[in-house]
């Protein structure tokens, strides 16, 4: 994943967005609504027949065409098996299109609400659908997308942050030290633990990427799909203290194991993955800081308070990495 050029979407004007959808054989009516998205740009577009579609413009330079097509192929594979994923629409045999220098895909519009992840029945249903997704995900491997590992999600973003001068001078040594500490603890887990099986996963399966309806969930935004342990799509559904997460995990797995076995040994990777996500998030904000949308929408980043809180959070994670894994009945 490359760094962002300044104002990567400066030329993405309303007429370009509408023309891109029209170029796929659609007939837009001028209605246009920007949806919440920072990595890419996503818009709801009105059609002359009264319908709505969603168009996603990929961030220039982030993914190769091959990597995007793998994402689309996985989504279509899931949809073909009636797993509720919002997959891109196919026009003239293609899902990835180009217009005015931008790469984009068009999706059907789907509504829904944020799931109540504290509800046992919701976790049961969610477990069923993610179990089905993973049963498909293990059939084949990605060739062009990344693997979730310590280098990609730990060392590389940390090195970028340090080299870019984002951390205040009086906190640089504390930040360097705490990251070195948690990465060493992670390496100890890697050395002693059974290597997990890597499969194609959603990769960013938090509540914001799950739209819930009366019929259950459907999943959106596979932009971060990658090769990773199955537990990557599990731990983001868990919250609260250790007892609460253990109870939630049991509800989730009751549904999951109806469709796919789960290796309990993967539970020891939860805090590893949580720690890597924290480090990666800081690196992601740093890499995107030249995009004008980021200082506006993430004003807390790159402040003294942000780095103080981030260091404290990583120190807490250092302790969590030494705790035994969650229990699964």
Residues annotated as catalytic (active site), given as ranges: 204, 221
Tell the residue number behind the tokens 């996963």, with chain if given: 201
Query: How many of the other CB atoms lie within 10 Å of CB of 171?
Result: 16
Closest CA to 285 of 161, 170, 177, 153: 161
Distance CA 87, CA 133 (A): 13
Token pair for 46: 């009105």
Write the DSSP symbol of residue 260: S
- CA-based end-to-end distance of the chain: 39
DSSP string, 181-236: HHHHHHHHHHHHSPPPPPEEE-S---GGGEEEETTEEEE---TT-EEE-GGGGTGG
Write the DSSP symbol of residue 151: I
Token pair for 212: 């819930």
Tell the residue number behind the tokens 């919002």, with chain if given: 86
Distance CA 211, CA 53 (A): 16
Distance CA 64, CA 198 (A): 21
Question: Which residues sit opposite 41 in a β-bridge?
Answer: 57
DSSP string, 61-103: TTS-HHHHHHHHHHHHHHHHTT--B-PPP-BTTBS-EEETTEE
């Amino acid at each position: 994943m490359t760094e962002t050029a300044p104002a990567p979407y400066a030329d993405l004007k309303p007429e370009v967005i509408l023309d891109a959808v029209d170029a796929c054989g659609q007939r837009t009516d001028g209605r246009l609504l920007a949806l919440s998205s920072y990595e890419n740009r996503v818009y709801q577009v009105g059609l002359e027949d009264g319908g709505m579609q969603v168009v996603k413009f990929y961030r220039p330079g982030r993914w190769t065409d091959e990597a995007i097509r793998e994402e689309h192929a996985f989504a279509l594979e899931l949809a073909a098996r009636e797993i509720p994923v919002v997959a891109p629409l196919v026009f003239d045999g293609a899902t990835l299109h180009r217009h005015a220098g931008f790469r984009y895909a068009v999706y059907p519009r789907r509504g829904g609400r944020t799931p109540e992840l504290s509800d046992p029945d919701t976790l049961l249903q969610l477990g069923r659908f993610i179990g089905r997704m993973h049963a498909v995900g293990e059939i084949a491997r990605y060739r062009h997308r990344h693997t979730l590992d310590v280098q990609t999600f730990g060392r590389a973003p940390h090195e970028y942050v340090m080299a870019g001068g984002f951390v205040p001078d009086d906190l640089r040594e504390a930040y360097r030290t705490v990251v070195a500490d948690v990465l060493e603890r992670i390496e100890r887990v890697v050395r002693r633990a059974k290597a997990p099986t890597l499969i194609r996963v959603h990769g960013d399966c938090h509540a914001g990427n799950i739209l819930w309806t009366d019929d259950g969930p459907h999943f959106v935004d596979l932009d971060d799909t990658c090769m990773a342990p199955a537990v990557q799509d599990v731990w983001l559904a868990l919250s609260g203290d250790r007892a609460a997460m253990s109870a939630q995990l049991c509800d989730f797995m009751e549904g999951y194991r109806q469709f796919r076995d789960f290796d309990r040994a993967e539970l020891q990777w939860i805090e590893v993955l949580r720690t890597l996500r924290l480090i990666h998030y800081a690196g992601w904000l740093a890499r995107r800081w030249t995009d004008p949308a980021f200082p506006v929408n993430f004003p807390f980043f790159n402040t003294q308070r942000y780095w103080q809180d981030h260091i404290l959070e990583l120190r807490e994670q250092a302790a969590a990495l030494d705790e035994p894994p969650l229990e699964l009945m």
